[in-house]
Amino acid sequence: MRRNGQEDGLSSTPVGDQPNAVRLHRAARLEDALHEVLVRRLRNRGWEPVITAYTGYGAPGWARVMARVVLTRPAQARKRLEKVRGWRSFTTSPVTDTVVRIQIGESVTETRTDRSGYVDCRVKGDLEPGWGTVRLSTDGAASVDAPVRVVDPECRFGVISDIDDTVMVTALPRPLLAAWNTFVLDEHARMAVPGMAVLYERLTTANAGAPVFYLSTGAWNVAPALTRFLSRHLYPAGPLLLTDWGPTPDRWFRSGQEHKRTTLRRLSTEFPQVRWLLIGDDGQHDQEIYSEFAQAHPENVAAVAIRRLSPTQAVLAGAVPGPSGSPEAVGSGGKTWFSAPDGAGLWSLLRDADVV
């Protein structure tokens, strides 16, 4: 059994490591104190730990494994895949600093959950290109299998996609609409962006073995609902790269934009041979972030495809309405940028430019 899992991302701590003491931000200390009281009361009421496994990724020889351990009612644990409203995704309490065992074949790595109950670490293991699984276990909870997208070393093309207003209509970042979509709206009522699922299917068909990563500033709490949404609307399966809302060790809230920048840089390091098609929309900061990445890592960018919002959608998303003309290709960041209002328009541009 190995005990040297690598600390990564959400900062789960490998067993045996003793990180230097860091004084937490007062918001983080308050959150931790509330969690401590809540966990004690919930355990006294019979709540049990459950592992929520997220889709990981990797390459032959290693895998990035992501999961969370929370307390929940036994009956709720059995029904956690049922139709739910968004707010139910947040009615859990994290199990902090508990040992989680990650098994890939005969190799077992132990790590610990962080202060929010998350595990995010890179571990060694033999996995074949394509889809594989790792087994996650912790004391007092049922073991679960986590899917892992293993990228072939020969792969040269992949897709990194935003979620909000790119594959799913969410009208972010208007606070009231965002809260309604996240906490109130039934997940089955969420709408898919026209033509985008067909676009992604065509991209993966034209490039056999191409991975699709979904990069968003959304909270990990809604990952199961997002996974079901993508499957229900026939989007290709792929890892969700989300973030944790709330206080961090040094600030009140995490930066969603920095999360995207950091993740793009990480993927360029982990898969230096892959040239990514970056897909987003013009309602938030995708264009700025993608432009910065394309300038810094031109060898890792095949092209940028931007879904252009309508004037009404742009206002709802808090952006300045842009031109609503026909699809177009423009140059920016040293790369060709393709802009269209839907998936069909983007596919036509990408196909004609021989990007795929």
Read off the pLDDT of residues 114-130 as tens digits, 9 standing for 90 and up: 888 999 999 999 899 99
Amino acid symbol at 194: P
Amino acid symbol at 138: T
More confident residue, 7 or 330: 330
Residue 100, pLDDT > 50, answer yes
| Predicted confidence (pLDDT) per residue in 41-97, tens digit | 766 676 788 999 999 999 999 999 999 998 887 665 445 544 444 544 455 688 888
The CATH number assigned to the domain holding 204 equals 3.40.50.1000
Based on the domain organization, do 47 and 142 belong to the same domain? yes
**149 falls in which pLDDT band (50, 70, 90)?**
very high
Based on the domain organization, do 272 and 321 belong to the same domain? yes
Computed over every residue of the chain, the mean pLDDT equals 80
> Residue 321 has what pLDDT?
43
Domain for residue 191, yes or no?
A: yes
Nearest to 340 by CA among 355, 327, 331, 322: 327
- DSSP per-residue codes, 276-311: EEEEEESSSSHHHHHHHHHHH-GGGEEEEEEEPPPH
| Predicted confidence (pLDDT) per residue in 335-353, tens digit | 689 999 999 999 999 999 8
Based on the domain organization, do 120 and 77 belong to the same domain? yes
Based on the domain organization, do 194 and 131 belong to the same domain? no
Domain for residue 30, yes or no?
A: yes
Based on the domain organization, do 197 and 315 belong to the same domain? yes
Residue with tokens 């909270």: 219
* Helix, coil or strand: residue 12: coil
User: Rounded to 5 degrees, what angle do the CA atoms 221, 224, 229 make?
Assistant: 120
Q: What's the average model confidence in pLDDT over 277-287? A: 89
Based on the domain organization, do 136 and 162 belong to the same domain? no
Query: Which among 98, 133, 150 is the end of a domain?
Result: 150
DSSP symbol at 86: G
Based on the domain organization, do 93 and 131 belong to the same domain? yes
- At residue 180, what are phi and psi to the nearest 5 degrees? -65, -45
Burial of 176 (0-12, 13-18, 19+ CB in 10 A): exposed
Cβ distance 243 to 256 under 8 Å?
A: yes
**305 falls in which pLDDT band (50, 70, 90)?**
very high
Domain for residue 244, yes or no?
A: yes
Based on the domain organization, do 332 and 231 belong to the same domain? yes
Question: Distances in Å between the alpha carbon of 171 and those of 33, 101, 187, 309?
Answer: 34, 39, 15, 10
Q: What's the average model confidence in pLDDT over 90-118? A: 88
Burial of 16 (0-12, 13-18, 19+ CB in 10 A): exposed
**151 falls in which pLDDT band (50, 70, 90)?**
very high
Based on the domain organization, do 146 and 221 belong to the same domain? no
Burial code of 105-138, b = ≥16 C-beta within 10 A, e = fewer? eeebbbbbbbbbbbbbbbbebebebeebbbebeb
Q: Model's pTM, two decimal places?
A: 0.81
Structural tokens at position 114: 């962080």
> Residue 355 has what pLDDT?
85
How many domains in the chain?
2
Based on the domain organization, do 242 and 298 belong to the same domain? yes
Q: How many CB atoms lie under 10 A from the CB of residue 52?
A: 23
Residue 142, pLDDT > 70, answer yes
**320 falls in which pLDDT band (50, 70, 90)?**
very low
> Residue 42 has what pLDDT?
62
**Domain, as residue range, for 69:** 6-150
Provide the CA 270 distance to its chain's centre, in angstroms.
16
**7 falls in which pLDDT band (50, 70, 90)?**
very low
Q: What's the average model confidence in pLDDT over 87-111? A: 83
Domain for residue 267, yes or no?
A: yes
Residue with tokens 């929520």: 52
Tell me the sheet residues that pair with 136. Answer: 102, 144
Residue 315, pLDDT > 90, answer no
Please state, in angstroms and rounded to a whole number, the distance separating the CA atoms of residues 56 and 241. Answer: 9
Please state, in angstroms and rounded to a whole number, the distance separating the CA atoms of residues 1 and 11. Answer: 21
**28 falls in which pLDDT band (50, 70, 90)?**
low
- C-alpha Rg value of the chain to the nearest Å: 20
Domain for residue 1, yes or no?
A: no
Query: Which among 130, 150, 170 is the end of a domain?
Result: 150
Element (H, E) at 27: helix 26-44
Based on the domain organization, do 139 and 177 belong to the same domain? no
| Predicted confidence (pLDDT) per residue in 36-53, tens digit | 666 667 666 767 889 999
> Residue 13 has what pLDDT?
42
Query: Which among 150, 166, 188 is the end of a domain?
Result: 150
Based on the domain organization, do 216 and 343 belong to the same domain? yes
Structural tokens at position 254: 């995490």
More confident residue, 101 or 333: 101
The CATH number assigned to the domain holding 135 equals 2.60.40.10
User: Rounded to 5 degrees, what angle do the CA atoms 42, 47, 49 make?
Assistant: 110
| Predicted confidence (pLDDT) per residue in 209-252, tens digit | 999 999 998 888 888 889 999 999 999 999 999 987 665 555 55
Cβ distance 83 to 188 under 8 Å?
A: yes
Structural tokens at position 107: 């190799």
> Residue 14 has what pLDDT?
45
